[in-house]
Structure 1
Amino acid sequence: MVEQLGFEFAVAPKRLTKVSPARLATFADCPRRYRMSYLDRPTPTRTGPWAHSTLGAVVHNALRALFELPPERRTPVRAAALLSEQWQDGGFADAAQAAAYRERAKAWVMEYVEHNDVSDTPVGLERWVSAPVNPEPGKPASMIIEGRADRIDERDGELVVVDYKTGRRAPDEYEARASQALAMYAVASARTLRRPCNRVELHHLPTGTIAAAEHTDASLRRHLARAEETAEDLRAATDSLADGGDARELFPAQVGPRCAWCDFRPSCPEGQQAAPAAKSWELLAP
């Protein structure tokens, strides 16, 4: 994989910033939310659970449990049963809404198993992957990218990163190609498992859509370059905070419509003023 990507994985500099897709996305979306999520201790007051997050976690857990079974037991009926076993009601409007979405989610996983080949055993399920990298070939590593991939398949000797989606809108090839998270998982998976990885896929359970993209070395480096820019800003703000800098200035609130469903809305006056509070079930797939 080192030869395939041309990244330098040799002796790293003494100090590297560790970044994950979640941390980078949080900082890019709102530095204030990043600070509250990862730096402030004790953690500021948060909202309660969101139904769409609960739904996504349940589907992910059910599919992970399904692929942990022997291939002959990966049936639609078993997938539905696992969904029921994993079910939680957090964030739904009431018991009736939760029950309706439980049945809907059972149908999603059953159709997924019916229409996709699930006989191959993945090489990674909720697999933690990590890699020291530099977007510029031939240079020492400048950061460590890491994260937990939903699923990593091996097809024809190459790895494929699979990410499950349960949101309101079906993804397309552009979204798969533009996903910084998938690109980072591809690079880190190749480094961790020592096999080429260029293909990434978004599997949308509500519609059965599979949006796939084939990366090149150049497209992966572009994603890493953008990640490095964000990582440098994140590191500078964090270091300045540790040196006694003003937390509100270093990690300003990036206000907008998303403040309506921010986890830290109760602890952010700017966010409360930016948008009315969303109901905990408003982002469910219709």
Structure 2
Amino acid sequence: MSQIEMPGMPRRLFSATPSKLASFADCPRRYRFAYVDRPTPPKGPAWAHNSVGAAVHAALRSWWELPVEKRTTGAARQLLYTAWSANGFRDDEQSGRWRARAAGWLTDYVEELDPTDEPVGTERTVGATTERLALSGRVDRIDQRGDELVVVDYKTGRTPSTDDEARGSPALAAYVLGVRRTLRRPCTRVELHHLPSGTVAAFEHTDRSLANHVRRAEDIALDITAATEAAAAGEDPDVAFPTTPGMQCSWCDFRPSCPTGQAAAPARDTWSFLAEEEPAQAAGSAADTRS
């Protein structure tokens, strides 16, 4: 039996993460497969670029967890090797080449860090509430800069991040709100640290920019609620949660379960999002990633 909301009772908040909201905004059908259907439909194979990003993120988290005296470039490389997975690569040779490449990025990045400058948090879960949402997310790193905290997000995609990406990222805006609410400290700055290029993109949020992100997130949550209620009331789930077919169907995790997506675009090789390699090396398809 559904809970009846009596007058004066608090509004029930929609529990959301940035990835949950992004999934619906990209394709309602994909959202349904991931968050509504049970059992969850089978997913396709792992992607090599995701394996790269996951290993780099895990190595950096573990590096900051080491005693200060052990935070060396050598330790960072070893942590990457330990976290490495060959899932999604064409073969062991390609996996080994990309492991060495990622280790080079990590070495260059760690050399620029002060190992004694303890982050306020690494892989820290934060949360905040709005009028309609209970937002939560996990921040790669939270730095102390003067009197304020800074949200740091690691990136390993093909192209360097831009300030516009930092400004427009719904996830980074949610993290700012979460850091403010969870840690009770001022926070306005977000940074995208792109390890392959060694560049940093940044944006200073204002109350207005955060309010714009909240409004868009709440609009998506309303659409999710409407679709979920329609399906629960008997509407065809494929109608309540329509597909948004396009080239993105080539790499959707739920492609094996979506005939519409299969017809929309051909499948891609699981290593095709790796950046182009040096001319002397086997070239992969040039494509950006979300890692």
- Tell me if TM exceeds 0.5: yes
Match of 2:240 in 1: 250
Number of residues paired by the alignment? 269
Partners of 1:244 and 1:279 lie apart in 2 by: 38
SS of 1:151 mapped into structure 2: strand
**How far apart are 1:89 and its partner, in Å?**
0.5
Kindly provide the CA deviation profile for residues 81-116 of structure 1, in whole angstroms up to 9, marking residues without a partner as x: 110111111000000000000000110110001123
Counterparts of 1:182-193 in structure 2, within 5 Å, are 182-193=172-183
Mark the CA change 1:145 to 1:215 in structure 2 (over 3 Å): closer, same or farther. same
Q: Are the aligned partners of 1:201 and 1:212 in contact in 2 as well (CA < 8 Å)? A: yes
SS of 2:253 mapped into structure 1: coil
The one-letter code of the counterpart of 1:195 is R
Structure number with greater CO (CA < 8 Å, separation at least 6) is: 1
**How far apart are 1:285 and its partner, in Å?**
2.7
Q: Are the aligned partners of 2:11 and 2:132 in contact in 1 as well (CA < 8 Å)? A: no
**How far apart are 1:14 and its partner, in Å?**
3.5
Q: Check if 1:156 corresponds to 2:146.
A: yes
SS of 2:97 mapped into structure 1: helix
The one-letter code of the counterpart of 1:230 is I
Q: Are the aligned partners of 1:166 and 1:285 in contact in 2 as well (CA < 8 Å)? A: no
Of residues 90, 113, 116 in structure 2, which corresponds to 1:116?
A: 113
Partners of 1:218 and 1:33 lie apart in 2 by: 31
Kindly provide the CA deviation profile for residues 118-170 of structure 1, in whole angstroms up to 9, marking residues without a partner as x: 4311111111111111xxxxxxx321111111111121121111111111111
Moved more, 151-160 or 262-271: 151-160
**How far apart are 1:73 and its partner, in Å?**
1.9
How many percent of aligned residue pairs carry the same amino acid?
54
Q: Check if 1:261 corresponds to 2:258.
A: no
Match of 1:5 in 2: none
Partners of 1:246 and 1:154 lie apart in 2 by: 50
Of residues 218, 229, 236 in structure 1, which corresponds to 2:226?
A: 236
Q: Check if 1:57 corresponds to 2:54.
A: yes
Partners of 1:239 and 1:179 lie apart in 2 by: 28
**How far apart are 1:12 and its partner, in Å?**
8.5
Counterparts of 1:97-176 in structure 2, within 5 Å, are 97-133=94-130, 141-176=131-166
- Which runs of no fewer than 5 residues in structure 1 stay unpaired? 1-10, 134-140
Match of 1:194 in 2: 184
**How far apart are 1:48 and its partner, in Å?**
1.0
Q: Are the aligned partners of 1:59 and 1:109 in contact in 2 as well (CA < 8 Å)? A: yes
Partners of 2:188 and 2:30 lie apart in 1 by: 32
Partners of 1:191 and 1:175 lie apart in 2 by: 23
